[in-house]
Each structure stands twice: as C-alpha cells, then as structure tokens.
C-alpha cells in the first residue's frame, strides 16, 4: 500500500492565497517543501482523498494521474477539500478516456455541493456515482474496505475521516479533525489494526487545539493513545499533515519537531510505501 501527499496545507494554502505575512514571505523566498497546496492524497494509484482547488495543479506539476482513480473519498465540504466542479470534466465530451464510473463518497453537505456543481457545462451523462456515508459506516470499493469516522471539526456538517484497509494493511487518514473521541477509538478497535500508517492533523503546529484541529502536541497525544490501546505498534508510520501559516513553523522546523515525537512531517509530493 502506498500513500502520496499532493497537498499538505490548511485552507489558505501556504503561502496564503491572499497573505504576505512573514511566514508566507519566507515560504515564497525559500520555495521547495515550504510551498504547500491544498489538501489531497492518493492511496496506491486508484483511491483519492479529497478534490481541492489545486487538484489540476497536482496533475500538472506533481504527476497525479486522475484517470487511474476509481474511488474518491471526501472528508467534508470545506473549500480546501471539496472543489467538485472538476467532477464535471469526467464525462464526455470533456474526457474521452476515463473508463467506467468513479465511485464518490461523502456526507450530505458534500453531496449537495457536488450535485449543484455538476450542472453547468452540459455534455453527456455523469460518469460518477455519489454514495452518502455516515460516521461509523463501512463500504467496499475496489480492493478497499473503507470506514468513515466522525471528525471533531465544523459543527454544521458531519465531517468524516477515514480508515482504509487493503488485505492486512491499513491507513488512518485523520484530516480535518481535533482529538479522537471514545467513539473513534471504539470504532478503530473493530477495524484492521495495528494500523500501518496514521496521518494526523497538525494545522496548528506549535499551538494546541484538539477541538477542531490539532497542533503537534495534540497529534503526539493521539499517537500515544493509539499505541497504548494496541491500535498502533512500533512498526506504525506516523505522519503529521495539513499545516497552516498560523502554526509558526516552516518545513525544516516542523520536520525537526515532528521527528522528536517519532513522526514524519508531510510535504507536497511525499510518497510512503507501507
């Protein structure tokens, strides 16, 4: 199983779309791993996590191949995770090569956004099926068993994060969320574990949150809890991801801070095979 991170910023991107603060200026000047686009990751070559406004940019500059994607999981409807206009381009006459139908999963807020966005261009029948998923619901798509977990995030929709299992491997992709609840740990105990890779929200980096997002200290606490409960072990790879300019650390700093907690800091284009 492989995970590739294409977008590792929080909602404003980094440098921020409309921001020229000191940290955005430094990111522009230093470039490289300090340039972070909006949230997207790929499992193997066929399961995509979120469809942000930088989706197309990821195909141009980071080698994302969207015609291999068969399953698309939306975490929630925030604009840095859900730019559903691109789904219209799956159908004829906009794509001549996409085979079959993409299976798309998300909550009701995402469903409304997707359906509203896909009526503007005309053309032939949609080439995707939308499936609404509820917290703690499990679906099978392709080679994967996918379970949605209830995120501690926006209160006006049922935000989700995902456990994705393939044979005896499993990835927990926990964006955007605060600290895990007892309900989350109860659900995870019933799923494939020890987890092979855990991707933890770290929007606030040097600051704490835990209610809506996490900082590094919150993420490190989740790591310890997963280990203590036997849901992860010494082989589990822990990654922190989804960074905001409000967190205070450029790539080198978050990398060093994460390493001191036994975790990797993501960057755009990072790929890990587990």
Q: Where are the alpha helices (DSSP H) in 147-215?
A: 182-189
Per DSSP, the three-state class of 233 is coil
Is residue 16 a contact residue for Zn ion (CB under 5 A)? yes
88 within 8 A of 94, measured Cβ to Cβ: yes
Q: Which is nearer to Zn ion, 126 or 176 (CB)?
A: 176
Give the per-residue contact string, 160-179, with Zn ion (x = CB under 5 A; - = no).
Answer: ----------------x---
CA distances from 90 to 68, 125, 127, 149, 150 (A): 12, 10, 6, 28, 29
Compute the distance between CA of residue 225 and CA of residue 243 in angstroms, rounded to an integer.
22
Q: What is the DSSP letter of 240?
A: E
Options 6-14, 115-123, 144-152, 186-194: segment touching Zn ion (CB under 5 A)? 6-14
Residue ranges in 220-259 that form contacts with Zn ion under rule CB under 5 A? 245
Crossing angle between the packed helical segments 216-228 and 251-260, to the nearest 10 degrees: 30
Options 14-22, 133-141, 162-170, 260-268: segment touching Zn ion (CB under 5 A)? 14-22
Give the per-residue contact string, 186-225, with Zn ion (x = CB under 5 A; - = no).
Answer: ----------------------------------------
Is residue 19 a contact residue for Zn ion (CB under 5 A)? yes
Return the number of other C-beta atoms located less than 10 Å from residue 233's C-beta: 12
Is residue 21 a contact residue for Zn ion (CB under 5 A)? yes
Closest contact distance (angstroms) between CB of 227 and Zn ion is 26
Q: Position of tokens 């032939």? A: 124
Binding site for Zn ion (CB under 5 A): 11, 16, 19, 21, 24, 78, 80, 176, 245
């Amino acid at each position: 199983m492989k995970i590739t991170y294409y977008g590792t910023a929080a909602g404003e991107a980094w440098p921020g779309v409309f921001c020229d603060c000191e940290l955005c200026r430094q990111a522009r000047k230093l470039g490289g791993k300090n340039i972070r686009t909006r949230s997207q990751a790929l499992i193997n070559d066929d399961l995509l996590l979120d469809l942000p406004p930088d989706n197309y940019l990821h195909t141009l500059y980071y080698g994302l191949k969207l015609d291999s994607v068969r399953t698309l999981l939306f975490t929630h409807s925030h604009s840095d995770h859900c730019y559903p206009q691109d789904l219209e381009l799956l159908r004829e006459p906009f794509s001549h090569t996409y085979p079959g139908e993409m299976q798309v999963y998300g909550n009701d807020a995402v469903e409304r956004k997707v359906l509203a966005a896909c009526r503007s261009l005309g053309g032939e029948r949609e080439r995707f099926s939308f499936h609404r998923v509820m917290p703690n619901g499990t679906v099978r798509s392709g080679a994967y068993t996918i379970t949605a977990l209830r995120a501690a995030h926006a209160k006006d929709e049922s935000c989700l994060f995902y456990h994705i299992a393939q044979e005896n491997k499993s990835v927990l992709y926990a964006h955007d969320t605060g600290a895990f609840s007892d309900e989350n740990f109860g659900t995870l105990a019933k799923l494939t574990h020890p987890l092979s890779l855990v991707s933890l929200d770290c929007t606030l980096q040097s600051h704490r949150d835990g209610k809506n997002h996490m900082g590094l200290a919150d993420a490190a606490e989740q790591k310890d809890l997963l280990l203590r409960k036997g849901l992860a072990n010494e082989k589990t790879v822990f990654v922190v991801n989804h960074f905001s300019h409000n967190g205070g650390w450029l790539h080198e700093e978050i990398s060093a801070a994460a390493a001191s907690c036994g975790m990797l800091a993501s960057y755009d284009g990072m790929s890990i095979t587990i």
